[in-house]
Structure formats: structure tokens, C-alpha cells
A = this chain, B = another copy of it.
């Protein structure tokens, strides 16, 4: 199987503050550890995608960390974007790089900062999607929703495309934006909706053709960069043209408007690890009472407490349900039930002009 992977490694996000920062986003951190989320993204593709067939698109400020974390990915496969332009240009350009090697190649695009508990099921779904992609579909892997989550987008599945590699595939009826709770509940009860995890599989040329039709401005700009990729003009053209790209997501730009879109539902324990409590829930499946990442935790009468550490010893006594996040310059102690309000602290720091801590 000649499969490729394209990993857009961008974004920031402060819901896992103070571990994650603008300059140190979630994908570079060891959640749930010991490997970083970016490393785990590649690890779980082992056997499906060779590191030499993996392309990473990342920002200037993360290039060094990405390079160090992924020593097996060739340097020329790590594209350092002159400016952040969203997942559309990143994944689209990744598809062009793949097509330059093999236009018929199947490629997957995987977020760098999501967690998947059941990797065998995930790999099965990727292979299933690859089969469907051979028929010219843009395929997404949809997650069986475990609850009426309002923080995710949804995919409505349509008619069956039959079984592929042991899993059913379906035509996609519609992509839905993040719903309110009532709508989300209806979605989940109907059994027709899946979470949109932004995991895509397609032939490189299928995506390139879709770009040409649906986002022609992005297509032609990327095309002009790709045309010079193997010349000594690579950096100059990248530097000049990339900032001209329109900031567009692959969902809005392509998936919501393309004609042949399919979905393979998978129950693979996916989560985007959106806050500290969700990380605690992932770790709780380990069966430990307390959970520590990178920390030496000395726990006395301590329960259901998550410690994200920083080489220091963390001792706790007579506490429960806490998240303790120990970083070089900030310490957070938070009740787990309040994890979503961490953004309130980030907002206060922003209001105070304390951008160094964000």
C-alpha cells in the first residue's frame, strides 16, 4: 500500500493552559504522555504510512520542535509555512507534494493534536477509507458520538456504499456546524449523525481536482509554489506567494461543497482533548486513582487528581478532583469540574497585558 500522510501541525489553543501556550501548542506536548500528541499521531499510523511518506506543515515558531520530535521524517517533508493560512492551503499543498511523487497515491490527513484510544479500530477505518477513496471519493472518518457534544461539528450520513475492510461506508448527506444542545441531542438520538473529527482520506489527485473546482484561487497559488518546489526558487516563491493564500479550512472550502464525499464511521475512542478534564478522563481509563504526566507525584490521601508536571516533585495531601499544572512560569490549581473556565484566567491575563504567560 502506497499510503501517504499529511499532518497540518498548527493552531494554538489555550484550553490546556498553562501547559499549552501560543508558542507551545497542544500538539507539541506529551498528552497523555509519554509521547507528544504529534509523535502519537505518527505512531498510530505505523504499518500504514512510512515516515518518508509523511508530510508535516507547520509554522516558523514550531519548526525546530517538530524537527526534533520527529527525527525520522525527512527534513524536506517538513514544510515551514511563512504564514498560517488554515487547513485548506496546508492540506492542499501537502496533497500537491504527494502528487509530485505519485498522483494516484492515497493520502490521509490527520490532526496533530487529537487522541485516539483504540488504534486498531482507527487503522481499520483508515484502510477502509482508503478503499473507498480509490473510487474517487473524498472520505472522512466519522466518530460514533458518545454524547450530545456541542463542541464538535457533525456529519449526516446518507446511503450506504457497502462494506470496505470490514466497516460500512456511507455517502455524506451534509456537514453540520457545532449545534446547540437540543440539536445535538436530536442528532445523537437519530443515529444518523457522526462527529466530524477532521480526519480525511483521498487520492491526492482527487483533492487537487476538487481544489481546482471549489477554491481555484488557492489552487493556482499553491500550484505556482509547487511548480518551483524542486528548483532553487523553492524558498523565494514560498516566501512570496504563500502569504497571498486565502485562509480557509478544508471543511468549509472543500468538504461541504464537493460532490463525491463519503464517510466511514469508526468507534475508535477519539477525542480532541479539549480541556484538562477530558484529559483526566482519558487517563482515568488507565485505572489509576491519580494521574500524572511528566511529574513525580507523591500522593497522600489524594484522589482523582491529575498532575501535569515539570520535573519538580509535586506532593498532595487531603485533596481530590484537582488538576495541577506545573510549568516554568505559571502554576495552575483547578477543580476538575471547572476545567472549561481556564479560559477565564487566560482572558484575565490578556486583559492585564500579561501576554508572556499566554
Contact = CB atoms under 8 A, between A and B. Distances in A.
A319 B322 contact: yes
Interface residues of A, number: 33
A297 to B, nearest CB: 10
Among A315, A324, A332, A338, the one with the most B-chain Cβ atoms within 10 Å of its Cβ is A315
A329 B345 CA distance: 25
Interface in A303-332: 312-319, 322, 324, 326, 328-332
Nearest to A339: B317
A252 B326 CA distance: 46
Contacts of A236: none
Contacts of A348: 298, 300
B341 A317 contact: yes
The count of identical subunits is 2
A143 B256 CA distance: 78
A345 B315 contact: yes
A182 interface: no
Nearest to A314: B331
B318 A341 contact: yes
Contacts of A326: 331
Contacts of A344: 300, 317
A142 interface: no
A331 B324 CA distance: 10
Interface of A: 18, 298, 300-301, 312-319, 322, 324, 326, 328-335, 337-338, 341-342, 344-345, 348-349, 354, 357
